[in-house]
A = this chain, B = another copy of it.
Amino acid sequence: MPQSTAKIVQKTRIQHQNQALILKAALEVFSAFGYRGGTIDQIAKKCGLSKPNLLYYFKRKEDVYVAVLEATLAEWLEPLRGLDVNGDPIVELTRYVSEKLEISLKNPQASKLFANEILHGAPHIQKFLKGPLRDLVEEKSAVILEWVAQKKIAPVDPQHLIFAIWAVTQHYADFSVQVEAIMGSEPKPDRTRKAVIELLLRGLRA
């Protein structure tokens, strides 16, 4: 028992590489079929590993799912963080909506994964919702209320404004099938961006 202390959990190059492969494949599978619908066989096959080999890196299916889910949470919060009380409200909100929409369009799988998790009761991210997410929304609601108090924007319910921004931007990722069925083809990102910003923010100009 040479090395004095506990087992050092330093990641091997192979570990790093294979875990990344697994998480990438898992995102594709779970976002397409949901947690229960996706199988570790699918994931293993998609990244060229054998099933036992995959389970060597993540002991349980749930561990894979939680890992890929948590990897998306940080990205999810990021754009809202930037909302700056000292900036111009319309500029700030426009940037926020644009960023949120762009992320949805660029990485719809992450959005779908997240949507599916919440749709089914968010069993794995209760703490995230009631902790960091709630705190951040509270903080930014205060920012928006401050803008209202300063008469920089029209009176608005800040929480519901944030909900509306989330709902609309994620709609284009989560319900892309419906959007495309109705529009006849993939919507033009630029037209979508302009329309969404107008719809959500035009009513706010003081």
Contact = CB atoms under 8 A, between A and B. Distances in A.
A135 B121 CA distance: 33
A49 interface: no
A98 interface: no
A129 interface: yes
Interface stretch (A40-48, A63-71, A198-206): A198-206
Interface residues of A, number: 55
Given A134-B182, A157-B191, A167-B171, 20 more contacts: A34-B36, A34-B120, A35-B37, A36-B36, A115-B115, A116-B116, A116-B119, A118-B175, A118-B177, A119-B119, A122-B178, A129-B182, A134-B181, A156-B198, A157-B194, A159-B182, A160-B195, A164-B168, A167-B170, A199-B203
A181 B133 contact: yes
B195 A157 contact: yes
Copies of this chain in its oligomeric complex: 2
Given A36-B37, A181-B134, A198 B203 contact: yes
A191 B178 CA distance: 29
13 contacts: A32-B121, A129-B182, A134-B181, A154-B202, A157-B195, A160-B199, A161-B195, A163-B179, A164-B164, A164-B200, A166-B171, A166-B175, A167-B175
